[in-house]
Structure 1
């Protein structure tokens, strides 16, 4: 099954966006705008027309492009540069918004699964900082190759130097005057 958004994202490749020949395949962005109603409202015909007009005039307006735009091959950098020009700002904003859509949620689902493994019924009072630290420790143990685990993990000397009593256990507040004593709702 072909995804209606992903199949059309090739229009935002810099070479495609600036090509006259590519316009025979994609003369308009209207079909793409129809499948992303949260970026461009279906009823917002004026904005759709502005974006489509900017799309149609993009290859013809080389003189109004920022310097060096033709040399940029990465779509995000290309559209970010074009966003700075007033003549194509709506088109560039639409392109960047469409390109930033999450195309898969596997990474998010994987993190939620890890959180569910960490925060069990017995450990349901863990703070956000503790859960975050546990997730980061697990990722750090994998290493840069993403194949490691806690069995073959070797901490660096810098990691050892950061493991001090104060950082691991925190400092106790010896100044008891800063914390009011409250017993049964009455201050002493």
Structure 2
């Protein structure tokens, strides 16, 4: 492998390929960061992923319709468009690289097709639900002419009567003056707290559906962060920490994160302070025979 990399880096024909890979992977990384972000709008994640997949298609002369996000399978590629290889400051180098490379087109084509297929291969079978979630975004929910929510409701609700209520509430949603019209999560929080003259929430069923959908995990980034924290807490010098202690430390760390506090500015309750230095702080509420197999999450 080292020899192959050495020959690759010494070959001047590899330069246009490397520049193309750098620019393409930067676009992939940008979309990947949106899925890992803690403050990302889950209703808009599908848009970025669709733009990425659609932009890869024309580079391989695949039509936008054929390379759609939900179109699985292999592709038959008649040619490769060399005019859109490299964008940015290095674009002036693409012509010389294209002329001097006999197999550069083939390499670029294979890389793009493989990237496109690997992206789709990593999507779960129920990924289509992410496209329907886009309906709940603030920019769609508050417009009078908007798509129907029945298809999304049928994925979570089985009662036809409740689906009918959700559809009616969905159509009536724009006729209330809402404050948070730019943030999806704040909008549905406001809808959840809304009350009419009788003290009832006229959007109860719709709001329950929206909160259920928005609570769905859209990536495993948070789980990966827990594993990273676990490696920090239970290191080589603290490898004898019990599972209960590690579990408590992780709960404290993420509890402070949720509260927006740090260990130096969090005020402990008075009853907790009174237990410090006493045997009460070491007493367990109940003996759990399965303590050693408690889940860390």
- Following superposition, the deviation at residue 14 of structure 1 comes to 2.1
1:129 corresponds in structure 2 to: 245
Correspondences of 1:22-171 after superposition (within 5 Å): 23=146, 26=147, 28-35=148-155, 37=156, 40=157, 43-59=158-174, 62=175, 65=176, 68-69=177-178, 71-83=180-192, 84-85=194-195, 86-112=201-227, 115=230, 118=234, 126-133=242-249, 171=277
- Following superposition, the deviation at residue 48 of structure 1 comes to 1.2
- Following superposition, the deviation at residue 112 of structure 1 comes to 4.1
* RMSD of aligned Cα (Å): 3.8
Contact 2:154 2:163 in 1 (8 A): no
- Following superposition, the deviation at residue 69 of structure 1 comes to 0.5
- Following superposition, the deviation at residue 110 of structure 1 comes to 4.3
Which SS does the other structure have where 2:218 is aligned?
coil
Compute the TM-score of the two structures, normalised by the length of structure 2. Answer: 0.35
Corresponding residue to 1:4 among 110, 120, 128: 128
Which SS does the other structure have where 1:19 is aligned?
coil
Contact 1:119 1:131 in 2 (8 A): no
Which SS does the other structure have where 1:5 is aligned?
helix
Structure 2 residue runs of 5 or longer lacking an equivalent are 1-68, 71-126, 196-200, 254-263, 266-275, 280-297
- Following superposition, the deviation at residue 6 of structure 1 comes to 1.6
TM-superposition CA deviations, 1:59-97 (whole Å, max 9, x none):
3xx2xx2xx505531112111212223221211221122
Contact 1:8 1:32 in 2 (8 A): yes
2:138 corresponds in structure 1 to: 14
Number of aligned residues: 130
The 2-side partners of 1:107 and 1:172 are apart by 36
Change (3 A) 1:135 1:15: closer
Which SS does the other structure have where 2:171 is aligned?
helix
